[in-house]
Each structure stands twice: as structure tokens, then as C-alpha cells.
Amino acid sequence: MKKGCLIWIVIGVIVALIVFGIVSWGINTYNNIVTLEQGVVSQWGNVETQYQRRADLIPNFVNTVKGAADFEQETLTGVIEARAKATQVTLDPANMTAENMQQFQEVQSEVSSALSRLMVVVERYPELKATQNYRDLQVELEGTENRISVERRNFNERAREFNTYIKKFPQSIIAGMKGFTERPYFEAMEGTEIAPVVQF
């Protein structure tokens, strides 16, 4: 075999190995991005489940509270309206933007606020607080609020992992080519650091 042919064969093998390495890296990177994205989507499902759980508990809670004599109708109406508004706002995990995440957070925050006001008003009704049904529902709602908090934190962690991965070089090349975009985070709403003032 001639020396010139051998050199071309060696160069061809080296080029083939380099191309194979680049293609393998690209496939592996793409698969990692998809895996991380599915983690975000899955975790979003967990968040939605807890918000739905809360929405499902609210009618029972409101009906239990309605049984109290001369209970503040305005407070109950506020809870019912906030729940109705929140159930109308949905968020597609494949098409999340900071704007639609903020809108989702705002309506969910309204539900939390309305429930908080209701809980404070109920303090004036010891006979209501003494009923087993009310206590059970209160525990369920408090547990659900805790679950929501945990699932939101888990969602933020998954989104952070995904966002970090697609922003790093050279993964950002594959992410950009395939249209993967950053996922928004849950953030504390403005004014949540200040306790609400309730006057009787």
C-alpha cells in the first residue's frame, strides 16, 4: 500500500471519529435537554394537582362556613369569586412565559388572600370553629397550602436545573437550534412580606 493512501485513510478515520463524536455529543445533549424539560413539565403537573385540590376543597369549606348564623356574606363571595377566577386561568407547561406565569400567580394569590381573610373572620365564630367538619376542612386546606408551597419550590428547582443546562455553552447551541426556551419561576408576589391588616 502506498504511503499517500495510508495517510488519507488515517485522516479519513480521524475525521470520521471527530464527526461521530460531535454527532454523539449533539444527540446526548438533546436527550438531556428533553429529560430536563420533561422534569419541569412533570413537576408542573404536581403544582397544578395541589392547586386543583385546594379549588376542590373550597366549596365544602364555604358551605360549612355558610351554616354559621349571620356570617359575612361579602367574605364568602370573595372566596367564591377568587376560586372561580383561578380555575379559569390555566398555564401550558410547554409554553410558559414570565407574563403568563405572573398572571397565574396573581389569581392563585387572590385565592390565598381570600382564604386568609375568611380564616381571620371565622375567629369571631367560636361555635363554627368548634364543629368537627370545619376543623377537618381547615386542616385539609392548611395541608394543601403547605403542599402547594413544597411543589412550587420543587418546580423552581426543576426549572433552575433546566434553565442552567440550556444556558451553558455548548448546550446552548443545541437548545437554540431546537427552540428550547427558559422556563419562568414562581416568585413571591409584591407585598407578601407584609402581614394583612384585618379590622373588626
pLDDT tens, residue by residue, 112-168: 888 888 888 777 777 777 777 788 888 888 899 899 999 999 999 999 999 999 999
CA–CA distance, 94 with 92 (Å, rounded to integer): 5
pLDDT at residue number 50 = 92
Residue type present at position 190: E
Residue 93 is assigned to a structural domain of this protein:
yes
Would residue 69 count as lying in a domain? yes
Would you tell me how many other CB atoms lie within 10 Å of the CB of residue 61?
A: 24
Q: Phi and psi of 106, rounded to 5°?
A: -60, -45
In contact, 185 and 159? CB cutoff 8 Å: yes
Cα(first)–Cα(last) distance of the chain, in Å? Answer: 100
Asked whether residue 60 is domain-assigned, the answer is: yes
Q: Is residue 165 part of a domain?
A: yes
**Does the residue 192 lie in any domain?**
no
> The domain that contains 158 carries what CATH number?
1.20.1440.20
Q: Can you tell me the distance from the alpha carbon of 96 to that of 43, in angstroms, rounded to the nearest whole number?
A: 13
Which pLDDT tens digits describe the chain residue by residue (200 residues)?
677 788 888 899 999 999 999 999 999 999 999 999 999 999 999 999 999 998 998 888 888 777 665 566 777 888 888 888 888 888 888 778 888 888 899 999 999 888 888 888 777 777 777 777 788 888 888 899 899 999 999 999 999 999 999 999 999 999 999 989 999 988 865 544 444 443 33
Q: What is the total count of domains within the chain? A: 1
Selection from 81, 51, 59 nearest residue 144 by Cα: 51
Note down the domain range covering 37.
3-178
Q: Please report whether residue 191 resides in a domain.
A: no
Say what the pLDDT of residue 34 is.
93
**194 lies in a domain?**
no
Residue 26 is assigned to a structural domain of this protein: yes
